[in-house]
Amino acid sequence: MNKPVRRIAIFCGLLILTLLIRDNWLQYVRATDLQENSKNRRISIERYAQPRGDIIVDGKSITGSTKTNGSDYAYKRTYKNGPMWAPVTGYASQAFGATQLESIEDGILTGNDDRLFFRRTLDMLTGEKKEGGNVVTTLNGAAQKAAFEGLGDKKGAVAAIDPTTGAVLALASTPSYDPSSFAGNSTKTDTPAWEKLQKANDPDEPMLNRALRQTYPPGSTFKVVTAAAALEHGLVDDPDAKTDTPLPWTMPDTTRPLENDGPLPCKDATLREALKVSCNTVFGKAGSDLGKDKMRETAEKFGFNSEQFVPVRSSASVWPKEMDRPQTALSSIGQFETAATPLQMAMVAAAVANDGKLMQPYMVDELQAPNLDVIEKHSPSELSRPLSEENAQKLQSMMETVVDEGTGRNAQINGVKVGGKTGTAQHGVDNSEKPYAWFISYAKTDSGTPVAVAVVVEDSQASRGDISGGGLAAPIAKSVMQAVINSKK
């Protein structure tokens, strides 16, 4: 080979080598970056080229897909009873992305999950269109409806759990929104609908998932945690023995007495009586006597100070770590900086109802391939043991007294043993804002304990004197419990 030809051959070989290097660089090193680049419309077009899989409740889909017009995105998401289910599903929007289950399980719903690789390959060989899989939830449709309709036009949230497994049965938040209203990418309809829902334009924050992401002062419902700590750490052995609680009781290191809500029979009251009528003095003194560290130990076993993933993330509820003794007393009655999500307080009720065993909450039962084969099945798991079986049963008896004889009478269900605790949580500077109404409870039937519930209501329309956990929140909890019980028959 003469020299000019050899030079041309070497040059061409170098060009081919460069092209191969460049090709491999793009396909393997830069592939992920290019796929995720916001300007790469091919990925988005492919993403919406076929219907998404569905989110399932009680064997029926609560989502769907519809053909679009005038867009290169062929399909967009639809929702059945969208506002009711939004705290569960989240949204999937061509313009604004996805949240909650729609985001977390996006790979299954679009059919792009690695676990569906064999299925996708088979579809390519057979010429079948790619399909998305399904997400089967643990939700109970009747319980969700009872929760959503019970809240009505009030601002608030409900969380319900199966105490024996941790399965989430209801997750409601109001006010809510319809994810269908901005599921497309139209600047004429979807964008205005989205903007209308933003906090800057709607101070009620309809897109805030109050059941998982909003923490509230739990008020007197937290006294269940304080009672558990008193029993577990040996401060109280017998719930029916008188406590050494003067009236008035002055918080340590202060000259300030801790007030009860009226002239209640709280002097030296038993733990049972104190829970029944909700004595601040008894539980404030108990928390102060135990000290912040023992109280924190029990609170954290119930789930405080940790985020929960169900798999949607729930904000961490708060038991303050740095407090003096008066602040510990206030925190022990659910005030000061103590804060909890509705999910957290449902976990408290569930742990007590389940004889002291707290199960990890979850709301996805299984993931299905497009042909309905099960890809993944959830196995219930224990999260912690906040209290012993013996002490849990003592606390059950106390909570049942609250409903049978005390502030929780509005949650009574014929033929069913109900345990509960009311709460009216003060908030705002010098408690200037209208309080939050709380109720936590569980229902016990001859066949077991199928449900534990937490309800919080922010009723800005009610007069301050009419706001109470027993009056506003307990009836909602009752309807949710009844719905679960009826669905088991």
- Measure the CA dihedral 13/16/20/23, to 10°: 160
**Where are the extended beta strands (E) located within 275-397?**
308-309, 313-314, 358-359, 364-368, 374-377, 382-384
Which residue out of 93, 176, 220, 317 is catalytically annotated? 220
Clarify whether 220 is annotated catalytic: yes
CA–CA distance, 276 with 270 (Å, rounded to integer): 10
Q: Which of 143, 144, 141, 171 is nearest to 159 (CA)?
A: 171
Q: Which of 224, 428, 212 is nearest to 317 (CA)?
A: 212
User: Coil, strand or helix: which one is 338?
Assistant: coil
CA–CA distance, 60 with 55 (Å, rounded to integer): 8
Q: Which residues contact 450 (CB under 8 A, 6 or more apart)?
A: 162, 163, 164, 443, 484, 485, 488
DSSP 316: P
The pair of three-digit structure tokens given for residue 8, joined into one six-digit string: 């041309």
User: Coil, strand or helix: which one is 478?
Assistant: helix
User: Coil, strand or helix: which one is 438?
Assistant: strand
The one-letter amino acid at 460 = S
Show which residues are catalytic. Answer: 220
